[in-house]
Amino acid sequence: MTTKFTADHEWINIEDHDAAVVGITHHAQDALGDVVFVDLPEVGKSYRKGEVAGVVESVKAAADIYSPVSGEVVEVNEALRSDPALANSDPLGEGWFFKIKISNMAEFDELMDAPAYDALLAKG
C-alpha cells in the first residue's frame, strides 16, 4: 500500500492494481472546518491530472478537489454523500472521495511521499 500526496492536500493510495483511492488530507479537512456537503465526480468520467474532480463545502468555505493523476473514476464514496462529516472524522479512511483507474503511473510516481508532504506543511 503506497500513499502519495499533492500540494493541493489530496492523498492517493494504491490499494490494488485496479484502482487508487483519493481523499483529502488531515491538513485540508482541518483548514476547511466542518464539512457539510461534497460533490463527487461521476463514475465513468475521465480526468487529467490537476483537473477539478469534485467540490467539498464546509461551514467556512468551498474547495475544489483535484484529480492527483489522470484516469477514469471507477467508484465514488456514496457514504460521504449522506454523511459528509466522514471527511473530518476519518479523512484518510472512511472519508475517501473516489477511486480512479490510473492511466499514467509516472504521474503517481511524481507525487510527494509522506516526508515530502510533511516538509511542505512545515514551510507553512
78 within a domain of the structure (yes/no): yes
91 within a domain of the structure (yes/no): yes
47 within a domain of the structure (yes/no): yes
Query: Which domain CATH number covers 19?
Result: 2.40.50.100
Residue 101 contacts residue 72 (beta carbons within 8 Å): yes
pLDDT at 63 over 90: yes
108 within a domain of the structure (yes/no): no
Q: Place 17 in a pLDDT band, splitting at 50, 70 and 90.
A: confident
107 within a domain of the structure (yes/no): no
Domain count, the chain: 1
Q: Place 16 in a pLDDT band, splitting at 50, 70 and 90.
A: confident
C-alpha cell recorded at residue 119: 516538509
E strands, 67-114, are 71-76, 98-102
pTM above 0.85, yes or no: yes
Q: Which pLDDT score is estimated for 84?
A: 97
Domain of residue 41 covers: 2-102+113-123
32-57 pLDDT, tens digit per residue, is 999 999 999 999 999 999 999 999 99
C-alpha cell recorded at residue 42: 461521476
